[in-house]
Amino acid sequence: MNGSQGISRRRLLAGGLGALAGGAALGVGATRLGGDDTPSASAGPPSTFTGPHQPGIVTPAQDRLHFAAFDVTTRSRAELADLLRRWTDAGERMMRGESAGAIGPTSGPYDAPPDDTGEAIGLPPAGLSITIGFGPSLLDGRFGLARRRPAALVRLPHFPADNLDPARSDGDLCVQACADDPQVAVHAIRNLARIGFGTVSVRWSQLGFGRTSSTSTAQQTPRNLFGFKDGTANVKAEETDALKQHIWVGPGDDPDGAWLTGGSYLVARRINMNIETWDRQSLRDQETIIGRTKAEGAPLSGGGEFTEPDFALPGRDGPLIDIASHVRMAHPTTNDGHRILRRGYNFVDGSTNLGRLDAGLFFLAYMRDPVTQYLPLQTKLAKQDLLSEYLQHTGSALFAVPPGIRDGGFVGESLFA
Amino acid sequence: MTRVTRTTLRPALLLLGLAPLAVLAGCSTNNAQSDDARVVSVDSGGDACTLSATEAPAGSLTFTVKNTGSKVTEFYLLAADGQRIIGEVENIGPGLTRDLVVSAKDGRYVTACKPGMTGTGIRADFTVTPSDQTVSVPEDQAQLIARANRNYQAYVTDQSAQLLEKTTRFVAAYKAGDDDTARDLYPRTRVHWERIETVAESFGDLDPRMDAREADLEAGQKWTGWHRIEKDLWPQRAPGYTPLTTAQRATLADTLLTDTRTLDARVEDLTYTADQIANGSRGLLEEVATGKVTGEEEYWSRTDLWDFQANVDGARVGFDGLRELIDQKDPELGRTIETRFTELQKLLDAQRDGDGFHTYDQLTPGEVKALSDAVNALSEPLSQLTAVVVS
């Protein structure tokens, strides 16, 4: 493109944008809130990094997700720490419903690109939560963090029948952005990625729609793409003791990982579902495989959705709930009492070259210790869960999610201090 | 291979004496009937069995059974003699609701709720009044089902015997280092496994030892069976592969042969029910959809189309055995499945090469898509088969 063409295109664009921004920018300034009467998709105060834990874990699960994993491209520890500070600032702003940068999408020098990309103008905060995590590879030798790596922060092993795509797995850093409006979640990831250019590069990202878990007793249990309720027995925000026991890393858990106290481990698995094959299973088989009714989500041993399953209750040919059913295999009572906080989302990434839905569950789960809470569980599910016949794990990652911040701090400060 | 065996869906062992009518037991379904007179709600309490009606017009009846008691319950529709089961739903947990859909011609019947699953249950008379809906007669179908079961049993036994015979030759060649013969015998032997794959893999101890692929393993698990040998015979896609020693070969070969003998002995004792045969046909097409049409099953040898054809063969045998029964109950479904089998076979025939098949890597993306579409087209009506044969 030569100079004159460039100028004319810019003029054209500027004219168009000016007209568009004219209405939208009224009263916007650096904030994108349209006004107090803007209908909010999410009740409650905005999320914040400030506090004992990061948001997006016990926050009531929003409806939409954009999750991104990053690789660090710089060799400078200072640059990395500076990025985390900038991400913290931008994240706080966006969670409040403001623009990513202090100037905003439609202000600032006319000859400079705006410091916010603009697609969230006029949208409410939509319950946005941003959660930042560190992959095992971040704590290799590059940034002098190796000696601070907790023993549990290692790459997840190969589980039976894994079919992992390296381009959808692992990463030095992750950002989970959840909101009730997909554009708000995408806006968050897009702007954080933009802030990160030169320091980090996006390794992979995943969109999710339709939460597949409840993280609060106030929420209805949603359905996964198999059509069943999912996450009935999840650890919920209201269970303070259970969170302390199963989700938050404790002060004495790992001497090298003291910086992670109050944080949590995040397991991310992209689990493709064999949708078309599943749809051809009889209702009898579907309910046998899951161990719950499709209608109510009640365990096959009877009662309602929140009735505890009775795995011993006999039927005609053995227990009413099949011993290899998903509900039994994943239940805390068959996993040494371990519980995890699931926060997954349905995904559909279009269709495959065979015309099948490229769809499934983007499994996100928070836990205190993946070595005892996830590794044995997934090994067992892969081998023994009836449901595994209809699943294929195509992506995998583990991250350590540091605690929340003090006023004026930044996410991960305890690690970089 | 299958990764998990459904205990509840396994073929029945040594159940030859089972009354053939048991397979006519009603199926649970979520299909709502438009004809309200043919929908009867049943309240199965601790000591009461309350029906919303005591009669219904002949045809396809739906009993919606809600367990309002505290014990596991069952509901039966029995013939007037109070003995013969026309249809049943079992294993209804407290608080749960399940449908019994059953075809009933006009006549007198007995209903029974059985809280606690014991005793003769809480019984009442039920009348089916004449209507213009025709209902097939179960008495005539019992013979058809018994014959289908015997034929399928004979088929499985025969395929298993051929599998054992060829496996014996295959492992002999492999142990002797005659790789050309072993490579020639590999797909020819495996077709006998693939034809009865849903039966063979129902043995949860043998299947992972005989048919596991490398990715199916967990860390530290020893890899044995067909695909371990396959990789050793076709190491081209495994850069830096170290061939197995003669001793390692012998161990693998002997284990496979021993397991095949065990399998052969076990299938001798198997009998089948109509719904298991129907489910088996559907299951074999699922094997095609998940492993063969994607070229994942025979990753090293690329002989997936041999397995593909063998799965289809097995599914076809199951369907053909049930055909007379299907034609009585839903002739349109029988014709559709037949047509779809023919269309799929045409595509497979186009890939024949000598007495075998082209390798998977010779297929164009368009050909793979066409095969996959034909598998979908067949699998969908095939998934209706079980509900029809047990109705």
Instruction: Confirm whether B23 is domain-assigned.
Output: no
Query: Is the CB of A289 less than 8 angstroms away from the CB of B6?
Result: yes
Count up the domains in chain B and report the number.
Answer: 2
Q: Nearest by CB to B7, which of A283, A303, A324?
A: A324
In terms of residues, how long is chain B? 391
Task: Indicate whether B107 and B187 sit together in one domain.
Answer: no
Residue B328 tokens, joined: 């009585």
Confidence class for position A404, pLDDT limits 50, 70, 90: very high
B122 and B254 part of one domain:
no
| CB of A377 less than 8 A from some CB of B | no
Assess whether B299 and B275 both reside in one domain. yes
Q: Mean pLDDT across the stretch A17-26?
A: 36
The CA distance from A332 to A312, in Å, is 15
Structure tokens at A161: 């029948």
Once rounded to an integer, what is the mean pLDDT over residues A283-310? 95
- Output the pLDDT for position B4: 58
Q: Tell me, yes or no, if B246 comes closer than 8 A to chain A by beta carbon.
A: no
Asked, for residue B2, whether it belongs to a domain, the answer is no
The distance of B30 to chain A (nearest Cα, Å) reads: 8
In terms of CA atoms, which chain B residue is nearest residue A283? B29
In chain A, what residues touch B281 (CB-CB under 8 Å)? none
* Shortest Cα distance, chain A CAs vs residue B120, angstroms: 15
In-domain check, residue B82: yes
Task: Quote the CA–CA distance of B101 and B333 in Å, as a whole number.
Answer: 18
Q: What is the pLDDT of residue A365?
A: 97
B369 closest CB neighbour out of A353, A382, A389:
A353
Residues B72 and B157 reside in one and the same domain: no
For chain A positions 282-321, those within 8 Å of chain B (CB to CB) are: 282-285, 288-289, 293-295, 298-304, 307, 313-318, 320
C-alpha to C-alpha distance for A174 and A68, rounded to whole angstroms: 6
Write out chain A residues lying below 8 Å of B29, CB-based: 283
Tell me the count of A-B CB pairs closer than 8 A. Answer: 121
User: What pLDDT, on the 0 to 100 scale, is given for residue B1?
Assistant: 62
Residue B67's SS3 state is strand
Predicted pLDDT at A278: 96
- State how beta strands B39-44 and B49-51 pair: antiparallel
And the tokens for A236? 């919920």
User: Between β-strands A314-315 and B107-113, what pairing exists: parallel, antiparallel or unpaired?
Assistant: unpaired
- Per residue in A91-146, pLDDT (tens digit) is 999 999 999 999 999 999 999 999 999 999 999 999 999 999 999 999 998 999 99
Identify the pLDDT of residue B232.
97
| Whether residues B107 and B160 fall in one domain | no
pLDDT at A177: 98
Indicate the pLDDT class of residue A217, thresholds 50, 70 and 90. Answer: confident
Four-point Cα dihedral B125, B131, B133, B139, nearest 10? 40
Domain limit, last residue, from B133, B149, B184: B133
CB contact under 8 A, B67 and A388: no
Domain membership flag for residue B291? yes
Residues B317-376 have pLDDT tens digits of: 999 999 999 998 899 999 999 999 999 999 999 999 999 999 999 999 999 999 999 999
> Looking at the predicted structure, is the pLDDT value of residue B143 above 90?
no
ipTM of the complex: 0.83
Mean pLDDT of chain A: 89
- Residue B292 in domain: yes
B152-170: average pLDDT: 96
Residues B100 and B144 in one domain: no
Q: How far apart are CA B156 and CA B201, in angstroms?
A: 13
Is A10 near chain B, with CB under 8 Å?
no
Which A positions 160-199 lie with beta carbon below 8 A of chain B?
160-163
Query: Domain range holding B322?
Result: 140-389
- Angle between helix axes B304-329 and B365-382 (nearest 10 degrees) is 30
Closest chain A residue by Cα to residue B96: A302
CA B335 to chain centre: 20
| B221 and B355 part of one domain | yes
Which residue has better confidence, B36 or A54?
A54
pTM (predicted TM-score)? 0.86
- Predicted local distance difference test score (pLDDT) of residue A34: 40
Instruction: Tell me the mean pLDDT in the region A65-75.
Output: 97
End position of a domain, from candidates B112, B133, B154: B133
Query: Which CATH number covers residue B87?
Result: 2.60.40.420
CB contact (8 A) between residue A382 and residue B6: no
Q: Cα A405 from chain centroid?
A: 19
Task: Judge if B219 and B240 occupy the same domain.
Answer: yes
In the predicted structure, residue B10 carries a pLDDT above the cut 80: no
Whether the pLDDT of residue A198 is over 70: the answer is: yes
Tens-digit pLDDT profile for residues A368-392: 999 999 999 999 999 999 999 999 9
Neighbouring residues of B112: CB distance < 8 A, sequence distance ≥ 6? B49, B75, B76, B78, B120, B121, B122, B123, B124
Q: How confident is the model at residue B138 (pLDDT cuts 50, 70, 90)?
A: low
Instruction: Choose the closest CB to B8 out of A288, A302, A379.
Output: A288
The pLDDT of A161-188, averaged and rounded, is 97
Nearest C-alpha of chain A: how many angstroms from B117? 8
Nearest to A317 among B8, B95, B290 (CB): B8
Residue B7 belongs to a domain: no
Confidence at residue B135, expressed as pLDDT on a 0 to 100 scale:
72
B133, B153, B170 - which closes a domain = B133
What is the per-residue pLDDT for B243? 96
Whether B125 and B216 map to the same domain: the answer is no
**Nearest partner of B62 among B43, B41, B39, judged by Cα:** B39
Residues 6+ apart with CB under 8 A from A7: none
Q: Left if phi > 0, otherwise alpha if psi is -120 to 50, otherwise beta: which for A286?
A: alpha
- Answer whether residue B273 is part of any domain: yes
Q: In which band, very low, low, confident or very high, does the pLDDT at B248 lie, cut at 50, 70 and 90?
A: very high
- B residues 11-70 lying closer than 8 A (beta carbon) to A: 27-30, 67
**Chain A environment of B288 (Cβ under 8 Å):** none
Q: Does a structural domain hold residue B17?
A: no
Nearest CA in chain A to B95: A303
Are A302 and B372 an interchain contact pair (Cβ–Cβ within 8 Å)? no
Question: Do B121 and B151 share a domain, yes or no?
Answer: no
pLDDT band with cut points at 50, 70 and 90 for residue B201: confident
Tell me, yes or no, whether B313 and B328 share the same domain. Answer: yes
Residue B171 sits in a domain of what CATH number?
Answer: 1.20.1420.20
* Poorest-pLDDT segment among A296-310, A326-340, A372-386, B19-33: B19-33
E strands, chain B, in order:
39-44, 49-51, 55-57, 59-67, 73-79, 85-92, 97-104, 107-113, 122-129, 352-353, 356-357
Q: Based on the fold, state whether residues B338 and B290 are members of the same structural domain.
A: yes
The helix-helix angle for A182-196 and A77-95 (nearest 10°) equals 160
Q: By three-state DSSP, how is residue B72 classified?
A: coil
Establish if B220 touches chain A: CB-CB under 8 angstroms: no
